[in-house]
Structure 1
Amino acid sequence: MRQSHPPLRSYGRLKTRTIKPRQAALMETLLPALRPPSGAFDPRALMPGAAGVWLEIGFGGGEHMAAQAGLHPDTLVLGAEPFQNGVASALRHIDEAGLTNVRVLDGDVRELMARLPDASLDRVFVLFPDPWPKTRHHKRRILQADSVADLARLLKPGGRLRFASDVAHYVDWALALVLANPAFRWTAVQASDWRAPPADHITTRYEEKRLGDCAPVFLDFLRGQPAVL
Structure 2
Amino acid sequence: MDDIRIPLIGEKAPAFKAMTTKGKIKFPEDFSGKWVILFSHPADFTPVCTTEFMRFAIMDEEFKKMNTELIGLSIDSLSSHIAWLRSIEKMTWGDYTGQKVNFPVIADISMKVSKLYGMIHPSAANTQTVRAVFIIDPTGVIRTILFYPASTGRNFDEIKRTLISLQKVDEMNIATPSNWVPGDDVIVHLPESKEEADKLMEMGESEGYHSLDWYLTFKKEK
Normalising by the smaller structure, the TM-score range is 0.3 to 0.5
TM-score (norm 1): 0.34
Structure with greater contact order relative to length (CA < 8 Å, sep ≥ 6)? 2
Higher strand share: 2
